[in-house]
Amino acid sequence: MNRIDPLAGLRVAVTGGTSGLGLALVQALAARGARVAFIARDAARVRRVAADLPTTHGIVGDVSRQDEIHPIALQVTAALGGLDVLVNNASSLGPVPLALLADTECEDLQAALATNVLGPFRLGKALLGALAASARDGRTTLALNISSDAAVTPYAGWGAYGASKAALHHLSRIWDAELREHGVRVLSVDPGDMDTPLHALAVPDADPAALQRPADAARLIVALIASTVSIREFA
């Protein structure tokens, strides 16, 4: 390849970055030379991943909590000197084990909405200034929201998760239409079923061998990021 890798030096933040798809994304992005900040709730796990990947920046925080959003956003832009790509990957399943919607406690639905909708919305707003600043410098910048096929297909038992991911998917489409003129794209992607802690909570008896490995899904998402940021759109 004689072109410069669009990922080299790219400033990327990944929520839920210490396990599953998020961790695979952090590893893949760091390996391609991106500058990565990742966010997760558990301080010990954050320390461990940051120690394993010394070029990355670990941030302890919970995106479902309103008062943690700005401290997270501040640490992201301070660590990276700005931001080109935000990956909202942290997800909540809602009730564990999965429950029919009529058996779902309101609190479990609220928890799913807080992590899967309000968190990406709030963090997206708090970091939009940084994404737009990077876009004014001539890049296409990106907020990438990790969705699910449960956002479009009504699977019984996946009510809280599916409804919250549907909201995130539609929020992404509207935001994309609004922000395109500012050089910021907002996309939602379905990585497919993967062998992750979240999937194990949802379907404990699934055969891991039949599931996609997170690293394989991460490779596709990294390719999507690379192709999006390397296109300069003129609104």
Partner 1 sequence: MKAAALPIQRPRDARLLVVDADGELRHAERSQLARHLRPGDLLVANDAATLPASLAGVHAPTGSAIEVRLAGRRSLAVDAVHDFSAVVFGPGDHRTRTEDRALPPPLRPGDRLQLGPLAASVVRTLDHPRLVDLRFEGTPDAIWAGIARHGRPVQYAHLAQPLALWDVWTRVAALPVAFEPPSAGFMLDWQLLHALRERAIGFATLTHAAGLSSTGDAALDARLPFDEPYHLPEATVQAIADTQRSGGRIVALGTTVARALEHAAAQGRPLQAGMGLATQRLGPSSRLRVVDVLLSGTHEPGSSHHALLQAFVDDALLRRTDAALEAGGYRTHEFGDSVLIEASREPGRRAERRAQLSPRQASRTIVRSGSTPGWAGLLRPA
Residue 171 interacts with partner 1 (CB under 8 A)? Answer: no
Could you say which residues in the range 91-150 bind partner 1, by CB under 8 A?
A: 126, 128-130, 132-133, 136-138
Report the length, in residues, of the chain. Answer: 235
Selected from 3, 67, 156, 209, the binder of partner 1 by CB under 8 A is 67
Residue 4 interacts with partner 1 (CB under 8 A)? Answer: no
Which H or E run contains 36? strand 35-40
The burial of 14, by beta-carbon neighbours within 10 Å (0-12 exposed, 13-18 middle, 19 or more buried), is given as buried
Which residues are known to be catalytic?
Answer: 161
Residues with Cβ within 8 Å of 61's Cβ and at least 6 positions away in sequence, in order, are: 39, 40, 41, 68, 71, 72, 75
Least CB distance from residue 34 to partner 1, whole Å?
15
Q: Which residues pair with 83 in a beta bridge?
A: none
Least CB distance from residue 63 to partner 1, whole Å?
14
Say how far apart CA 21 and CA 192 lie, in whole Å: 11
Q: How many residues bind partner 1 (CB under 8 A)?
A: 33
Say how far apart CA 119 and CA 114 lie, in whole Å: 6
Selected from 79, 99, 201, 211, the binder of partner 1 by CB under 8 A is 79
Least CB distance from residue 72 to partner 1, whole Å?
8
Residue 205 interacts with partner 1 (CB under 8 A)? Answer: no
Residue 54 interacts with partner 1 (CB under 8 A)? Answer: no
Say how far apart CA 77 and CA 95 lie, in whole Å: 33
Say how far apart CA 50 and CA 224 lie, in whole Å: 25
33/71 with CB nearer partner 1: 71
84/195 with CB nearer partner 1: 84
List interacting residues with partner 1 (CB under 8 A).
Answer: 50, 57-60, 67, 69-75, 77-83, 126, 128-130, 132-133, 136-138, 178-179, 181-182
